[in-house]
Amino acid sequence: MSLKENLSEEQQLQQRIFTAIDNFDSFIIQAGAGAGKTYTLIESIKYILHYKIDELDKHNQKIMCITYTNVAANEIRQRLGETQYVQVSTIHEMLWQQIKMYRRSELTVLHLKKLKQELENIESEIKTQTDCVNLSTLKTKENLELFSTFIEEKKEEFFTLDRNKIKADKFRNQMMQSDLVERIPEFEEKIIKSVDTFKKFFKLVSRQISFKKAIDKLESKNNDKKIQIDYDSLSNSDRLPAMKFSHDTLLEYSLALAEKYKLFQKKLIDQYPYIFIDEYQDTHESVIKLMAGLQQYSKGQRWLVGYFGDSQQNIYDSGIGNQILNIYQNIPDNGLGQVKLQEIVKPFNRRSEQQIIELINKIRNDKLHQKSLDPDKTNGEVNFYYLDTEGYSRDTSTDNLIIKQFIEKFAQCLGDNEKIDCLLLLNRYVASMSGFEQIYSAIQKANFILWDEINTKLFARELDKLHPAVLRLYQLVTAYNNCINPHKTLYDLFGDTQSEVTFAVALKLAQLFRCKHPNNLHEFIQHIDNVLNDLCVDQNNVVLSEQEAVRFWLKKNFGFNFQNLFNRNKNKTQNIGFKDYMYGLVYEEMYGKIEKFNPDVELTDEQADEEINRRHQDIEEILNIDLNIWQQWVAFINNEHNKEQTVTYHTYHGTKGEEYDNVAIIMEHNFGKNNKNKFKNYFASLSLEPEQTYKEEETRKLENSRNLFYTACSRARKKLWILYLDDIKDIEDNLKKLFTSIKPFKYQG
Ligand SMILES: Nc1ncnc2c1ncn2[C@@H]1O[C@H](COP(=O)(O)OP(=O)(O)OP(=O)(O)O)[C@@H](O)[C@H]1O
């Protein structure tokens, strides 16, 4: 078909969407990579703005557009231009905005329920642990109560000693200094015999206490001041007893609110008659259920939801992928009627040259066979190379050299100003090629992220996917970057201070925070600690506005309230400074509020000391990495590149939604040691007869590999070069089903 005919067909499809919008028919747009989903989404919004604006205006309504990341939200805002009739936000932003008005009412009910569930888990763990010989005397209610009183008495001291890496025997002596010890049977002989076991148990019971207190607080009838539950968007883990929750719990609470309170649904429907969800495939199941619930409830009213996405680009396990229609089918009728979606398939590809489209069609191998919008776009190139491994064996440094040589070869086939975007499978290579291998090694050594989660928790460009401790490090580097960047506004530094902070004070503090280039994060933290300490010492002269400014700075950069800072001198032992607080936080975020208890292994004092020392050394090592290296990592996370850069390295996941002219993909059999043969198995599965089926788990893994491969290959506009680093003998026949040209790549060692 000619370009003209294709354009006309595309126009008709767009028209079907407009008709669905006119009729308030909820729909789902299914389209492969580069089909122009985002473009269609924007066209749909523009259509409403053009034809329905009076209606929106009359009812004081808005269009809601939900994106998967902040980057995507900004992109859409930019492409739409300023308009008060559209709210573009991530699902978390949108939900919090909607539910925060319930933070003193209905949310406290949900929070209370969650605290109680969690308390049950803690109590069952306490039970299991008191089964072990050393703690068995704490099995009785009375002894456990005595132990809890002991904890209340020694808590501050315990955590100060723990933080300060006090050796086991000294620690034991300090803990023994309490009248309560006499009253708790076998305290000396058994309970504190292993300091390691004791510490874990202490933390567990102290967690139980804090949960109980939080529950009491919420249940207490004579609260003058209503307790408030808050979403903490800057932290990647819940802090339930502190009445704070993070991203996943936000989804959970929102769905529960919607299911329980019809008013909540009604408000959403009234406020946003059009809700669009971009990249539906990576959306959490609870969001789809929430939308389906709204759709059901709104029957007969002016309301619709429109999903845009591609199930084969689902690359995160938390996303619903191709399950959306099943979820819809399983929504009970509730006497309100079955919810349905009109399915509109967009079969075009606007991004890539014909050669690339052919390849990605073969990879997806489903009904969504794409055709190029412009049949004359045939100047693309796909090359598959396998490494000719004869004569040497692979290791990280050789692989790095091989990748560089491959990129050079690719570059020789390109024009002078052309760039290459290289997608690397292995995290170590992404780190070394992008200049932050030291961070990768140190984090791996500290061993607080599971092997197969490192790709997301250290390399994700969506901040809410980073490991909580890694996010904390990101915040520290960003706080430093903001301090030294003269182009940052006072809002960037202090957030919305609602004019409680004067311009002069904000400037003074900004200057104090801006230190001489520190060598590492450790020095930066020390510097901030010094500044805050000086302000504390000088507190008689510190105007209230300065205290406020510090408070806003800490809140904006790290999301925490540090109210006690200026009261410290009054009661020094009770409160800690910024440095200790930050170290404590990082330690806790790395190793958990309670280190995992294993009753089979009881560490001796020496082993426990060694273990604690090791952990502290690992943290020291991380904080002592050169700050320039940290800045390179932050630039990677923020996807910032300098203009001269001719090659940019990415993880496969990090390129979601992006497009580049020339793409190099480096592959191999494995994806980390827990995903042995991930890609080998995928390629091997291509010769599977249709009647052969795998177990569900196996199918899920294969689909994930295919989706990752599909998403990677479909980023290319013009040229795609793939290098396979492992031996392809066993999968060669299947590779030939996808690639017309398979050539050896000879490394010049
Ligand atoms: N109607 C259109 N007119 C002009 N350019 C378009 C149109 N639709 C899409 N494009 C362009 O085609 C390319 C692919 O579009 P887009 O990024 O919206 O695709 P997508 O379906 O969201 O892709 P992916 O699923 O891979 O993220 C972009 O460069 C976009 O600007």
Domains of the chain (ranges plus CATH)? 3-103+255-346 (3.40.50.300), 105-219 (no CATH), 371-435+641-745 (3.40.50), 462-624 (no CATH)
Annotated binding site for ATP: 31-38
Q: Where are the alpha helices (DSSP H) in 559-661?
A: 578-591, 605-623, 627-637
Mutate to test the pocket of ligand 1, among 39, 311, 312, 360 (most ligand atoms within 8 A of CB): 39
**Pocket lining: 309 vs ligand 1, CB cutoff 6 Å:** no
Long-range CB contact pairs, 505-514, < 8 A, 24+: 505/543, 505/545, 505/546, 505/549, 506/549, 508/546, 509/546, 509/549, 509/550, 509/553, 510/483, 513/483, 513/553, 514/483, 514/484
For residue range 523-564, list pLDDT tens digits in order. Answer: 999 999 998 888 776 656 656 677 788 888 998 999 877 665
- Considering only CA atoms, which residue is closest to atom 9 of ligand 1? 36
Give me the residue label for tokens 């800072």: 565
- Considering only CA atoms, which residue is closest to atom 25 of ligand 1? 33
Atom of ligand 1 nearest to the CA of 714: 26
Atom of ligand 1 nearest to the CA of 309: 25
**Pocket lining: 462 vs ligand 1, CB cutoff 6 Å:** no
- Considering only CA atoms, which residue is closest to atom 27 of ligand 1? 657
Task: Please tell me the predicted confidence (pLDDT) of residue 417.
Answer: 86
Task: Please tell me the predicted confidence (pLDDT) of residue 599.
Answer: 52
Helix H, strand E, coil C: the string for 61-81 is CCEEEEECCHHHHHHHHHHHC
Task: Note whether 525 and 476 are within 8 A (CB).
Answer: yes
- Considering only CA atoms, which residue is closest to atom 16 of ligand 1? 36
Query: pLDDT-based confidence at 31, cuts 50/70/90?
Result: very high
In this prediction, residues 675-695 reach a mean pLDDT of: 81
Side-chain-facing half-sphere of 319: CA atoms under 13 Å: 21
Is residue 434 scored above 70 in pLDDT?
A: yes
Rounded CA gap, 59 and 301, in Å?
13
Task: Note whether 181 and 205 are within 8 A (CB).
Answer: no
Contacts of 707 (CB under 8 A, 6+ apart): 312, 313, 314, 315, 321
In this prediction, residues 125-130 reach a mean pLDDT of: 90
**Pocket lining: 208 vs ligand 1, CB cutoff 6 Å:** no
**Pocket lining: 351 vs ligand 1, CB cutoff 6 Å:** yes
Q: Which tops the pLDDT comparison, 571 or 27?
A: 27
Entry field: residues in the chain: 749
Atom of ligand 1 nearest to the CA of 31: 21
Annotated binding site: 31-38
Query: pLDDT-based confidence at 18, cuts 50/70/90?
Result: very high
Query: pLDDT-based confidence at 223, cuts 50/70/90?
Result: low
**Pocket lining: 715 vs ligand 1, CB cutoff 6 Å:** no
Q: How far is the CA of 109 from the centre of ligand 1 (A)?
A: 44
Query: pLDDT-based confidence at 224, cuts 50/70/90?
Result: low
* pTM, rounded to two decimals: 0.87
Atom of ligand 1 nearest to the CA of 32: 25
Helix (H, G, I), strand (E, B) or coil at 463: helix
**Pocket lining: 657 vs ligand 1, CB cutoff 6 Å:** yes
Calculated CA dihedral for residues 731, 732, 738, 742, nearest 10 degrees: 140
**Pocket lining: 313 vs ligand 1, CB cutoff 6 Å:** yes
**Pocket lining: 350 vs ligand 1, CB cutoff 6 Å:** yes
**Pocket lining: 32 vs ligand 1, CB cutoff 6 Å:** no
Mutate to test the pocket of ligand 1, among 79, 349, 351, 708 (most ligand atoms within 8 A of CB): 351
Q: What is the ipTM of this complex?
A: 0.96
Q: How far is the CA of 339 from the centre of ligand 1 (A)?
A: 29
Q: How far is the CA of 668 from the centre of ligand 1 (A)?
A: 30
CA distances in angstroms from 325 to 28, 32, 285, 498, 504, listed in the order given: 9, 17, 11, 46, 57
- Considering only CA atoms, which residue is closest to atom 13 of ligand 1? 351
Q: How far is the CA of 385 from the centre of ligand 1 (A)?
A: 29
Task: Please tell me the predicted confidence (pLDDT) of residue 405.
Answer: 95
Atom of ligand 1 nearest to the CA of 38: 18
Q: How far is the CA of 36 from the centre of ligand 1 (A)?
A: 3
Q: How far is the CA of 656 from the centre of ligand 1 (A)?
A: 13
Q: How far is the CA of 738 from the centre of ligand 1 (A)?
A: 24
Query: What tokens appear for 506 in the block?
Result: 């904000």
Atom of ligand 1 nearest to the CA of 278: 22
Mutate to test the pocket of ligand 1, among 350, 352, 658, 708 (most ligand atoms within 8 A of CB): 350
- Phi–psi pair at 360, nearest 5 degrees: -70, -25
Rounded CA gap, 340 and 41, in Å?
20
Mutate to test the pocket of ligand 1, among 10, 17, 38 (most ligand atoms within 8 A of CB): 38
Is residue 567 scored above 60 in pLDDT?
A: no
**Pocket lining: 233 vs ligand 1, CB cutoff 6 Å:** no
Give me the helix-helix angle, 354-364 and 696-713, nearest 10°. 170
Q: Which tops the pLDDT comparison, 687 or 634?
A: 634
Rounded CA gap, 318 and 105, in Å?
29
Task: Please tell me the predicted confidence (pLDDT) of residue 574.
Answer: 47
In this prediction, residues 638-645 reach a mean pLDDT of: 83
For residue range 349-364, list pLDDT tens digits in order. Answer: 999 999 999 999 999 9
- Considering only CA atoms, which residue is closest to atom 8 of ligand 1? 36
**Pocket lining: 203 vs ligand 1, CB cutoff 6 Å:** no
Dihedral sign computed on CA atoms, order 424, 427, 431, 433 = negative
Q: How far is the CA of 666 from the centre of ligand 1 (A)?
A: 25
Rounded CA gap, 45 and 79, in Å?
11
- Considering only CA atoms, which residue is closest to atom 18 of ligand 1? 36
Q: Where are the beta strands (DSSP E) in 187-341?
A: 230-231, 244-245, 274-278, 304-309
Q: Which tops the pLDDT comparison, 488 or 56?
A: 56
Helix (H, G, I), strand (E, B) or coil at 54: helix
Q: How far is the CA of 576 from the centre of ligand 1 (A)?
A: 52
Q: How far is the CA of 34 from the centre of ligand 1 (A)?
A: 5
**Pocket lining: 711 vs ligand 1, CB cutoff 6 Å:** no
Helix (H, G, I), strand (E, B) or coil at 319: coil
For residue range 159-194, list pLDDT tens digits in order. Answer: 888 877 788 889 999 999 999 888 988 888 888 988
Task: Please tell me the predicted confidence (pLDDT) of residue 595.
Answer: 59
**Pocket lining: 34 vs ligand 1, CB cutoff 6 Å:** yes
Q: How far is the CA of 536 from the centre of ligand 1 (A)?
A: 55
Query: pLDDT-based confidence at 270, cuts 50/70/90?
Result: very high
**Pocket lining: 31 vs ligand 1, CB cutoff 6 Å:** yes
Task: Note whether 623 and 521 are within 8 A (CB).
Answer: yes
